């Protein structure tokens, strides 16, 4: 009996590592191969027979800095993302405070309205937004990107922060309140410091969504004054040469590395952030 | 974490904070208006990107728009949309591609979470599995475009293991072209569900599992009969969020297939984009947007609201 159970246990462990290892391979193989694309010469990418062991080359690295305004793409990405995170977090904190600390009419409807904007397909509002920005003269500027990224992320930032605020024990504020502190002072001096992990999680996830954003950026940006990395990639084509994959691969990794490091740092909060606060991991 | 929770534990909390003490010197009106004032900036901002575009799209959908000349055409756009084979095809493509991809991701994520959540190296697995999700979607689209089409890597690998004899042209067959989109989506987004499922499994009370274990139940039986039902709300929320994102699939279509072959991979988002920004038929595209908006509101009010309410977490 014990013998059978032990054997079964060993078998289940083997199965477990086959499943997990298999998926890890499926995750990593395309990534490593794409990295090798970034570090090989153009001539070894699209060939009659795929080349699995290419010659090492930094052609693509030189190319992205000399043939394209890579510095401008980086600057646009960073500015648009940082600006949008600042806008969405500063609108979300008071909103989350209101939704988590007060009882009033329509509170739940307002909360759900904020949540529901996350459900809207970008394509549905793409045309009106395009005309809106055109009329405001904001097409092809990072201001437009900032505004739209902030709007896309506002719902999830609000809900994540709200979820963390609900976890703060009320006793914390009660003490301050008896001392006569105003609501805004309590928000600033007690609530915000206490839910800082939530605010950081929300900011990181919002930043990732902003880096990834494609459709609106595609419509808004038309030159290097607003192209972000995500959309600049799609324009790495060289006329008759077709898509320039090694440059694309390198840009993909330039964007990936910081995102990966930050996400590893907030790993503990990730599941909560991705579900807008609904799942406490 | 839900509206149910809002009115429960939080009611007590709100009551304990409420009026009297701190707000002594404030007028009644200011006290009542305060929470609305706090939430107002966010709501106004969101109305600008939802209500304004919604109204604009409805208005524009009654016009035939050619560059800067708008001609009122009443319900003509809607009428021709109803008879437009491409519109219905885009809807059904979105549904077919989306539901297959979602079902696969769900099954895979569940399988992986089941094997990983009790593993001593669960943190390591999590980081490795996360990697595809952290690439920009446009970059992922290029990875798979190169692997399937331009670089023929997938064909080559399949030939090496002897599954096929000649290069496969993935863009020439309807089901293969759809499959490339599904593979790309599954590769990138299975981790999203995996992370959430693992969190759901880990947050469960271990004692219940231990008790069942001592009674001789197998891990699989415990998982199926105890763990899974207990984390149903978590699964619901994860699937709803992923489902929403899948139905808005655009980037992969734009980069990998552009709707080929013959519109078989055109999703509704790409359909609206193509009508608006490739053929500049803005009124018609707006009519399609309005129909999608109505569909979105219905889904949000029913499925999504319920998922976020049931999640008593």
Rg (chain A; Cα; Å): 24
Half-sphere exposure of B49 (CA within 13 A, CB side): 29
Residue B66, domain member (yes or no):
no
Same domain, residue pair B169 and B243: yes
Are A69 and A38 part of one and the same domain? no
Does residue A280 form part of some domain?
no
Task: Tell whether A80 and A157 lie within a shared domain.
Answer: yes
Structural domain contains residue B272 = yes
Q: Which of B60, B90, B105 is the last residue of a domain?
A: B60
For range A55-62, the mean pLDDT? 90
From A6-15, A201-210, A243-252, B88-97, the region with the lowest mean pLDDT: A6-15
Q: How many whole angstroms separate alpha carbon B31 and alpha carbon B53?
A: 33
Q: Report pLDDT for B186.
A: 97
- Residue A140: the pLDDT is 95
Task: Verify that A31 and A147 share a domain, yes or no.
Answer: no
Q: Are residues B183 and B53 in the same domain?
A: no
To which H or E segment does residue B32 belong?
helix B28-60
Tell me the C-alpha distance between A145 and A141, whole Å: 7
Asked whether residue A46 falls in the same domain as residue A132, the answer is no
Inside any domain, residue B68? no
State whether A117 and A92 are in the same domain: yes
B131 in Cβ contact with A27 (< 8 Å): yes
R_g of chain B computed on alpha carbons:
25
Count: domains in chain B: 2
Residue where a domain terminates, one of B60, B85, B108: B60
Asked whether B170 and B177 are in contact (CB, 8 A), the reply is: yes
Q: Do B39 and A101 touch (CB under 8 A)?
A: no
Q: How many independent structural domains does chain A possess? A: 2
Q: Is residue A122 part of a domain?
A: yes
Q: Give whichever of A58-62, B131-135, B257-261 has the largest mean pLDDT.
A: B131-135
Structural domain ending residue among the three candidates A40, A59, A78: A59
Residue A235 is given by DSSP the state G
Res. B14: pLDDT tops 70: no
Helix (H) or strand (E) holding B241: helix B232-247
Same domain, A137 and A219: yes
Q: Which long-range contacts (CB under 8 A, 24 or more apart) does B239-244 make?
A: B239/B102, B239/B106, B239/B193, B240/B303, B240/B304, B240/B307, B240/B308, B241/A274, B241/A275, B241/A276, B241/B192, B242/B102, B242/B105, B242/B189, B242/B192, B242/B193, B243/B98, B243/B102, B244/A118, B244/A119, B244/B299, B244/B304
Distance CA B207, CA B212 (A): 9
Q: What is the pLDDT of residues B283-299, one digit of tens each?
A: 999 999 999 999 988 98
Q: Residue A238's pLDDT band (boundaries 50, 70, 90)?
A: low
Angstrom distances, CA of residue A82 to CA of A17, A203, A253, B9, B93: 41, 9, 20, 36, 36
**Which chain A residues are closer than 8 Å to B285 by Cβ?**
127
Residue B151 above 90 pLDDT? no
**Helix (H/G/I), strand (E/B), else coil: A92:** helix
**Shortest Cα distance, chain A CAs vs residue B281, angstroms:** 11
Interface contact A125-B53, CB threshold 8 A: yes
Residues B208 and B174 in one domain: yes
**Measured between alpha carbons, how far is B36 from A89 in angstroms, rounded to an integer?**
18
Chain B, 281-310: which have a CB under 8 Å from a chain A CB? 282, 285-286, 289, 292-293, 296-297, 299-301, 304-305, 308
Alpha helices in B117-231 (DSSP H): 122-130, 137-145, 153-160, 174-202, 206-214, 219-222, 228-230
Q: Is A55 within a domain?
A: yes
Name which of A138, A84, A98, A114 is nearest B46 in CA terms.
A114
User: Within a domain: residue A279?
Assistant: no
CATH number at residue B147: 1.10.3720.10
Q: What is the pLDDT of residue B10?
A: 47
Residue B70 lies in a domain: no
Residues of chain B contacting A34 with CB distance shorter than 8 Å:
143, 146
Residue A108 domain flag? yes
- Whether residues A181 and A83 share a domain: the answer is yes
Mean pLDDT of all residues in B88-110: 96
Residues B243 and B100 in one domain: yes
Instruction: Look at residue B70 and give its three-state secondary structure.
Output: strand
The CATH number assigned to the domain holding A140 equals: 1.10.3720.10
Per-residue pLDDT for A248 more than 80?
Answer: yes
Query: Cβ A274–B146 below 8 Å, yes or no?
Result: no
Distance CA B36, CA B56 (A): 27
| Residues A28 and A153 grouped into a single domain | no
- B277 contacts A94? CB cut-off 8 A: no
pLDDT at B15 over 50: no
Q: CA-to-CA distance for B280 and B274, rounded, in angstroms?
A: 8
Predicted local confidence at residue B210, as pLDDT: 81
Query: By the CB < 8 Å criterion, does B250 face chain A?
Result: yes
According to the model, what pLDDT value does residue A160 have? 95
| Higher per-residue pLDDT: A46 or B194 | B194
Both A129 and A258 in a single domain?
Answer: yes
The domain in which residue B291 lies consists of: 77-310
Residue A56 burial (10 A CB sphere; 0-12, 13-18, 19+): exposed
Q: How big is chain B, counted in residues?
A: 313
**Tens digits of residue pLDDT in B33-85:** 899 999 999 999 999 888 999 999 999 999 998 877 899 999 999 999 999 99
Q: Please list the alpha-helical segments (H only) found in chain A.
A: 2-38, 59-66, 70-101, 107-116, 122-135, 142-166, 171-178, 183-186, 192-194, 196-212, 215-220, 229-232, 245-265, 270-274
Phi-psi region of A104 (alpha: psi -120 to 50; beta: other; left: phi over 0): beta
Centre a 10 Å sphere on the Cβ of residue B241 and count the other Cβ atoms it contains: 23
Residues B126 and B229 both lie in one domain = yes
ipTM rounded to 2 decimals: 0.92
Beta bridge partners of B71: B64
Of the residues B16, B35, B60, which one is the last residue of a structural domain?
B60
A34/A167 same-domain check: no
Is residue B65 assigned to a domain?
no
Distance from CA of A237 to the nearest CA of B (A): 12
Tell me if B1 and A163 make a contact (CB, 8 A cut-off): yes
The pLDDT, as a whole number, for residue B312 is: 38
Of the residues A59, A78, A106, the one at which a domain ends:
A59
B-facing residues of A in 67-96 (CB < 8 A) are 91-92, 94-95
Clarify whether residues B180 and B298 are in a common domain.
yes
- Write down the mean pLDDT value for chain A: 90
In a shared domain, residues B53 and B174: no
* Contacting A residues, span 18-47, partner chain B, CB-CB under 8 Å: 19-20, 23-24, 26-28, 30-31, 33-34, 37, 45-46
Residue B41 forms contact with A (CB below 8 Å): yes
Contacts of residue A134, Cβ cutoff 8 Å, sequence gap at least 6: none
Which of A174, A211, A278 is nearest residue B237 as measured by Cβ atoms? A278
Give the DSSP H or E segment for B269: helix B268-277
Residue B252 · residue B183 · CB < 8 Å: no
For A150-177, how does the pLDDT look when each residue is reduced to its tens digit (9 = 90+)?
A: 999 999 999 999 999 999 988 888 888 8
Per-residue pLDDT at A217 exceeds 90:
yes
The minimum CA-CA distance between B286 and chain A, rounded to whole Å, is: 7
Domain presence at residue B131: yes
**Is the CB of B150 inside 8 Å of chain A's CB atoms?**
yes
Q: Alpha-carbon distance A94 to A7, whole Å?
A: 58
pLDDT at A53: 87
> Is B198 within the bounds of a domain?
yes
Section A202-222 average pLDDT = 94
Domain that holds residue A75: 65-274
CB atoms within 10 A of CB A172: 13
Q: What is the pLDDT of residue B311?
A: 43
CA distance B154 to B168: 9
- Asked if B170 and B154 count as a contact pair (C-beta separation under 8 A), the reply is yes
DSSP B72-135: E-TTHHHHHHHT-HHHHHHHHHHHHHHHHHHHHHHHHHHHHHHHHTTSTTHHHHHHHHHGGGGS
B239 and B148 share one domain: yes
* A152 & A34 share domain: no
**DSSP label of A243:** B
Give residue B179's pLDDT.
96
Average pLDDT score over chain B: 87
pLDDT at B258 over 60: yes
Q: Is residue A14 part of a domain?
A: yes
Q: In whole angstroms, what is the distance from residue B184 CA to residue B207 CA?
A: 39
Q: Do B93 and B46 fall into the same domain?
A: no
B chain contacts of residue A104, beta-carbon cutoff 8 Å:
32, 35-36
Same domain, A193 and A86: yes
- Residue among A129, A251, A271 at smallest CA distance from B143: A251
Average pLDDT of B127-138?
A: 95
Same domain, yes or no: B125 and B243: yes
**Residue B6 reports pLDDT greater than 60:** no
CA dist A61 and A17 (Å) reads: 37
For the range A230-239, what are the long-range contacts, defined as Cβ-Cβ under 8 Å and sequence gap of 24 or more? A230/A77, A230/A255, A230/B136, A230/B137, A230/B138, A230/B139, A231/B138, A232/A68, A232/A73, A233/B136, A233/B138, A233/B139, A233/B142, A234/B138, A234/B254, A234/B255, A236/A68
| DSSP code per residue over A163-218 | HHHHTS-THHHHHHHHTT--HHHHIIIIIHHHTHHHHHHHHHHHHHHHHH--HHHH
Q: Do A150 and A222 contact (CB within 8 A), yes or no?
A: no
- Residue A129 vs residue B166, higher pLDDT: A129
Are B46 and B183 within one domain? no
Q: In 3D, which of A223, A105, A199, A91 has the Cα closest to residue B49?
A: A91
Single out the residue of B198, B199, B234 nearest to residue B308, CA to CA.
Answer: B234
Q: Return the H-helix or E-strand segment holding B69.
A: strand B69-72
End of a domain among A59, A93, A108? A59
Q: Which of A46-50, B13-17, B23-27, B127-131 has the lowest mean pLDDT?
A: B13-17
Task: Work out the pLDDT band at A43, boundaries 50, 70, 90.
Answer: confident
- In the stretch 131-150 of chain A, residues with CB closer than 8 A to chain B read 131-132, 148, 150
Q: Is residue B217 part of a domain?
A: yes
Does the pLDDT value for residue A145 go beyond 80?
Answer: yes
Same domain, B51 and B192: no
**Do B243 and B106 form a contact (C-beta atoms < 8 A)?**
no
């Amino acid at each position: 009996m014990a013998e059978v159970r032990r054997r079964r246990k060993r078998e289940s462990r083997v199965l477990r590592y086959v499943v997990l290892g298999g998926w890890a391979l499926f995750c990593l193989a395309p990534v490593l191969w794409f990295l090798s694309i970034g570090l090989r010469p153009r001539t070894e990418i699209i060939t009659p027979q795929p080349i699995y062991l290419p010659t090492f080359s930094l052609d693509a690295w030189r190319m992205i800095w000399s043939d394209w305004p890579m510095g401008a793409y980086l600057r646009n990405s960073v500015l648009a993302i940082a600006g949008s995170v600042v806008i969405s977090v500063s609108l979300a904190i008071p909103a989350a405070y209101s939704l988590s600390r007060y009882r009033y009419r329509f509170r739940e409807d307002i909360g759900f309205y904020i949540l529901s904007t996350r459900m809207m397909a970008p394509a549905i509002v793409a045309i009106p937004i395009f005309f809106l920005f055109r009329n405001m003269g904001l097409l092809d500027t990072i201001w437009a990107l900032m505004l739209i990224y902030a709007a896309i992320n506002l719902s999830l930032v609000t809900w994540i922060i709200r979820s963390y605020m609900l976890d703060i024990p009320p006793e914390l504020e009660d003490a301050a309140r008896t001392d006569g502190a105003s609501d805004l002072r309590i928000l600033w001096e007690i609530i915000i410091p206490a839910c800082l992990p939530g605010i950081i999680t929300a900011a990181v996830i919002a930043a990732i969504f902003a880096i990834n954003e494609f459709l609106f950026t595609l419509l808004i940006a038309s030159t290097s004054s607003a192209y972000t990395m995500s959309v600049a990639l799609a324009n790495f084509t060289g006329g008759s040469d077709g898509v320039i994959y090694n440059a694309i691969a390198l840009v993909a990794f330039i964007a990936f590395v910081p995102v990966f490091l930050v996400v590893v740092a907030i790993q503990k909060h990730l599941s909560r952030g991705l579900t807008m606060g609904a799942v406490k991991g | 974490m839900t509206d149910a929770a809002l009115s429960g534990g939080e009611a007590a909390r709100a009551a304990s904070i409420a009026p009297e003490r701190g707000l002594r010197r404030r007028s009644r009106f200011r006290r009542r208006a305060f929470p609305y004032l706090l939430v107002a900036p966010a709501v106004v901002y969101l109305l600008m990107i939802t209500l304004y575009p919604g109204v604009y799209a409805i208005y524009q959908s009654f016009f035939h728009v050619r560059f800067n000349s708008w001609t009122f055409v009443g319900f003509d756009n809607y009428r021709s949309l109803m008879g437009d084979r491409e519109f219905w095809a885009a809807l059904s493509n979105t549904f077919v591609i989306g539901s297959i991809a979602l079902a696969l991701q769900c099954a895979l994520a569940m399988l992986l979470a089941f094997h990983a959540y009790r593993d001593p190296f669960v943190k390591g697995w999590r980081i490795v599995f996360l990697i595809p999700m952290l690439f920009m979607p446009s970059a992922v689209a290029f990875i798979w475009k190169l692997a399937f089409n331009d670089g023929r890597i997938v064909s080559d690998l399949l030939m090496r293991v002897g599954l096929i004899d000649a290069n496969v042209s993935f863009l020439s067959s309807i089901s293969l072209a759809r499959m490339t989109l599904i593979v790309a989506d599954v590769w990138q987004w299975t981790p999203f569900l995996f992370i959430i499922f693992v969190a759901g499994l880990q947050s469960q009370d271990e004692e219940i599992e231990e008790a069942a274990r001592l009674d001789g139940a197998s891990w699989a039986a415990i998982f199926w009969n105890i763990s899974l039902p207990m984390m149903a709300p978590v699964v619901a929320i994860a699937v709803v969020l992923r489902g929403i994102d899948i139905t808005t699939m655009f980037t992969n279509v734009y980069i990998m297939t552009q709707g080929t072959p013959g519109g078989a991979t055109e999703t509704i988002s790409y359909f609206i984009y193509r009508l608006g920004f490739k053929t500049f038929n803005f009124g018609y595209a707006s009519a399609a947007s309005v129909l999608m908006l109505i569909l979105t509101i219905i889904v949000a009010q029913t499925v999504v609201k319920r998922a976020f309410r049931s999640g008593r977490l």
